[in-house]
Amino acid sequence: MSLGSWDPEAAKAGTNFSIDKKVLERFLKISQHQQLQDLAVKLSAEDQQIQAQLMTQDKQSWFDVAEDFNDEELEHLMRFFTLAEKLPGWEAGDKSPVIWLGKTLKKRGRGIDRELLLWIKANSINQYLPHGSLL
């Protein structure tokens, strides 16, 4: 197990952070190539620190960026972010992108299929996944 480091300047930069589609495409490829178990190795320390801010972006930002991805890609991103919460500083609770991406699938009339639901439950440390808080 490795410990991350905290940079107070990175926290301040979070107010100007926006979701970068190219970053999501990189994360998508990690999932598509079945390399999710190696996230701590696949992502540089800098990436881990900067991109951790993805985990707490507002739902509308996620709804907007999700429009650029098809259903299968959203499922891969959901898998990525489910496991990414195990990285230091990537904990998201009820603000997890997995929730917003799942709601996007629901809006599209598809929802989260049973296989993905069971996978998320088996691999998640977040009690709110995949549907969010009850309130």
Query: Has residue 58 got a pLDDT over 60?
Result: yes
- pLDDT for 16: 83
Whose CA is closest to 57, among 81, 27, 39? 81
pLDDT of residue 29: 97
pLDDT, one tens digit per residue, over 85-133 is: 999 999 999 999 999 999 999 999 999 999 999 999 999 999 999 999 8
Q: Is the pLDDT of residue 53 over 90?
A: yes
19 to each of 14, 23, 65, 98, 130, how far by Cα in Å? 11, 8, 7, 14, 20
Query: Maximum distance among all alpha carbons in the chain?
Result: 41
- pLDDT tens track for 17-42: 999 999 999 999 999 999 999 899 99
pTM exceeding 0.85? yes
